[in-house]
Structure 1
Amino acid sequence: MKEVLNNHLISVVLPAKNESLAIESTVASIRAEFPNAEIIVVDDGSNDGTASLAINAGAKVITHPYSKGNGAAIKTGARAATGETIVFMDADGQHNPVDIHRLLKQMEQGHDMVVGARQKGSQANMGRGLANKFYNKLASWMTGHQVQDLTSGFRVVDAMKFREFLYLLPNGFSYPTTSTMAFFRAGYSVTYIPIHAAKRIGKSHIRLWKDGARFLLIIFKIGTLFSPLKIFAPIALIIFMLASGWYGWTWFHSERFTNMSALLYTGSVVIFLMGLISEQITALMYQGRK
């Protein structure tokens, strides 16, 4: 039997790569809170015995033959989960299984996704904390709703609705960003519960420069997933204003329309039209979901 929430089965999915130091205690802690829940550990090509330790702790383990990425592990777990409600957690000991009860309680209120929002002091370092604040502000502007933690990997979702967007999720990092924006775009209910994330056990898999560049792409992904025109239109307007300013200056001084003005005007129109096309493509992506 599996843990039941209002007659809905619960599955807990933990993506794991070389988490031998924390996986046993994490699974045991979840099992202590939810004795009958389905616990799935997706071993993403570990070489430190993570899979065997998870099995010994009582988890169902699915092993990738090689590392495919955190997002790919999430997708594997979501496909394998039999529960109607899925809990996603990190396997490194950052998330407290006791908080699952609070997230599930919000699901009972009719929400489709409940996210554990990390409070001050939970970030790994100041740089990541500032970056997350920027992402949250940008996402809040894009959606028109307050986004408290765009990149949190601790969340509870309606399994069927989450699977609608598996094709959108990246295989690497930033699956939380993509899934959150997809739920907002589809008109599903998303809410946040404040949590404290402890310091991870073991070494982080995030690399400052390599993954820092990837996280910068999150900004553009937010725009293209939700409302591309909100990104393209302001850029087009700025270029249009530059073109008008340059045209006014050259006309005042030499009474002529320069090639630079023409280039800037053309660029602003092209960028605006790209935004319109992207908006239509985005709408078709969500229209085609099952």
Structure 2
Amino acid sequence: MDKASGVEVTVLMPAYNEEKSIGRTVRRVRELYPDFEILVVDDGSTDKTVQEAMDAGANVWPHPYNIGNGAAIKSGLRVAKGEWIVMMDADGQHNPEDIKLLLEHKERYDLVVGARSKKSKTSLHRDLANTFYNKIASYVTKFRIEDLTSGFRLVRRRVVADFIYLLPNTFSYPTTLTMAYLRMGRSLKYVPIVSKKRVGKSKIRLIEDGIRFLLIIFKIATLFSPMRLFLPLSCALFSTGLGYYLYTYVTQSRFTNMSALLFSTSVIIFMIGLVSEQITQMRYDRVK
């Protein structure tokens, strides 16, 4: 428990134009966990989100204008009073009853994430996209990622403070947080949950935010584990150059410029990977 505030757990909800669901969600959390701080960070809503949240009993931290879902999370992490912070959506997707499932593992794991099961009310195209992201992230982190983009998660305030500067202002903050924790040697636990269909229209844009999620994965990979990307690319170019050289040697009895280009490019990429790995190691040494 945070001795200064007397609050053990903060339930953090980023919200943007969620007047239809925020009040009901806050009231249910309040009923189940009366001792928890409920913190709603309003990201510049133009409807009655702020008033609905306040009437339901939440502490509200407003942004003057819409900055982004990730920016709301960062603001909440900075001002939350609890030692443990539960992040959940304000749109009705996450069941407040499931908060206790995350808290059961708080003493053993640094990050506990609610992984949406097959019974969850999710669309097919998002399920396919999430499966794709999970596969790539699992390769980069060498850990089986079950739900990379889930926004229902539990963190310890003093641990997550080291990662706030990495988080983007957009919906891709869960991706960044998950991969950063894993690459820095922090422990992660997935807990199966069943999410409901959100109230209102989703603010995630499939193509634009999907590309952003993918770029975030590669960004974090190069930031924390660059050789997982550079080495396969270098080997692929070297193998292509070797294969092309063997082909031209057999058919034309010569070494071509294309083979030389592929060989030299593979070496350059490999060396860039080595330098990046050294820079990454220095970052490890500076983090608590």
Tell me whether the two structures share a fold, i.e. TM-score over 0.5: yes
> Separation in 2 of the partners of 1:171 and 1:143?
23
Worse-superposed segment, 199-208 or 278-287: 278-287
**Is 2:176 aligned against 1:182?**
no
TM-score (norm 2): 0.94
How many aligned positions are there?
286
Structure 2 match to 1:126: 124
Structure 1 match to 2:86: 87
**Shift in Å, 1:151:** 0.9
> Separation in 2 of the partners of 1:23 and 1:33?
16
> Separation in 1 of the partners of 2:2 and 2:27?
15
Structure 2 match to 1:42: 41
Deviations 1:180-203 (A, max 9, x none): 111112222110110001000011
**Shift in Å, 1:283:** 2.7
Matched residue SS, 2:67: coil
> Separation in 1 of the partners of 2:40 and 2:54?
9
> Separation in 1 of the partners of 2:128 and 2:216?
14
Structure 2 match to 1:265: 263
Deviations 1:156-210 (A, max 9, x none): 1111101110111111121111111111122221101100010000110011232
Q: Give the letter aligned to residue 219 of structure 1.
A: I
C-alpha distance 133-15 of structure 1, shift in aligned 2 (>3 A):
same
Structure 2 match to 1:54: 53
Percentage of identical aligned residues: 55
Q: Does structure 1 retain, via aligned residues, the 8 Å contact 2:2–2:83?
A: no
> RMSD value over aligned CA atoms?
1.8
**Shift in Å, 1:33:** 1.0
Q: Does structure 2 retain, via aligned residues, the 8 Å contact 1:43–1:62?
A: yes
**Shift in Å, 1:214:** 1.3
Structure 1 match to 2:140: 142
Q: Does structure 2 retain, via aligned residues, the 8 Å contact 1:94–1:197?
A: yes
Structure 2 match to 1:250: 248
Structure 1 match to 2:162: 164
TM-score (norm 1): 0.93
**Shift in Å, 1:113:** 1.0
Structure 1 match to 2:151: 153
Q: Give the letter aligned to residue 38 of structure 1.
A: E
Q: Is there any run of 5+ residues in structure 1 with no aligned partner, and where?
A: none
**Shift in Å, 1:225:** 4.0
C-alpha distance 186-3 of structure 1, shift in aligned 2 (>3 A):
closer
> Separation in 1 of the partners of 2:16 and 2:262?
49
**Shift in Å, 1:222:** 4.3
Worse-superposed segment, 276-285 or 252-261: 276-285
**Is 2:141 aligned against 1:113?**
no
> Separation in 1 of the partners of 2:71 and 2:125?
26
Q: Does structure 1 retain, via aligned residues, the 8 Å contact 2:7–2:35?
A: no
Q: Does structure 2 retain, via aligned residues, the 8 Å contact 1:3–1:34?
A: no
Matches within 5 A, 1:225-240: 225-240=223-238
Q: Give the letter aligned to residue 81 of structure 2.
A: T
